[in-house]
Chain A
């Protein structure tokens, strides 16, 4: 199975783990992305995520289908949050289950790296001085690495 969704409520990683767990699993890998309190030397108070929803859902489904094909048919579930998040909140959770650890770990890595390149989701950081800025990971002076 594979499932991807954009959600506007808190992400429950435990529920995602349950979705991919089966008696055939010998390994379950989990990645959680969270909102960090600093970026490029500035104090971040929250992040606002927006998306081109229809395409983001479609692109995520394509990425999961690729991972299923590339890594020996893992079970994968992913949720990405949309809306305004506080520091420490989960922005994305990806879980992969497989008989063996390598396909589970490789799937999770593949999905998060492709998501960061291809899925039309954007974030605007809110800073402690009241300013807000759209993050452009392709800008030469941008140090966004999360």
Chain B
């Protein structure tokens, strides 16, 4: 089964205990499906229900399709400046 690597940063990386997590991906999966798969994996169950997510370095909608090879990242509340 294809997979994607989801990058984690800052507080999310700390919650999960890792900077990345590999998630199985089915054909036609959207960001929303990916989040559901991710949250069913024990280390990721601590993550919030609807985090912001970036696909290929752009903020994505939960309806965005995810393809194998996409660069996926969960974005905790940003605090630059």
Contact = CB atoms under 8 A, between A and B. Distances in A.
Given A118-B59, A134-B14, A49 B80 contact: yes
A129 B81 CA distance: 24
B7 interface: yes
A122 B11 CA distance: 9
Interface stretch (A17-25, A51-59, A69-77, A99-107): A51-59
Interface residues of B, number: 18
A123 B79 contact: yes
A55 B78 contact: no
Interface in A5-55: 33, 49-52, 54-55
Nearest to A136: B77
A120 B81 contact: no
Nearest to A112: B81
Interface residues of A, number: 32
Contacts of A55: 54, 57-58, 73
Given A52-B54, A55-B57, A134 B76 contact: yes
Contacts, number: 74
Contact of B81 (A33, A56, A58): A33
B73 to A, nearest CB: 6
A115 B79 contact: no
Given A55-B73, A122-B78, A123-B80, A134 B11 contact: yes
B9 A116 contact: no
Interface of A: 33, 49-52, 54-56, 58-59, 80, 91-92, 112, 115-124, 134-139, 144, 146
Interface of B: 7, 9-11, 14, 54, 57-59, 71, 73, 75-81
19 contacts: A49-B80, A50-B9, A51-B9, A54-B57, A55-B73, A56-B80, A92-B80, A115-B80, A116-B78, A116-B80, A116-B81, A120-B9, A122-B9, A122-B10, A122-B79, A136-B11, A137-B77, A137-B78, A144-B79
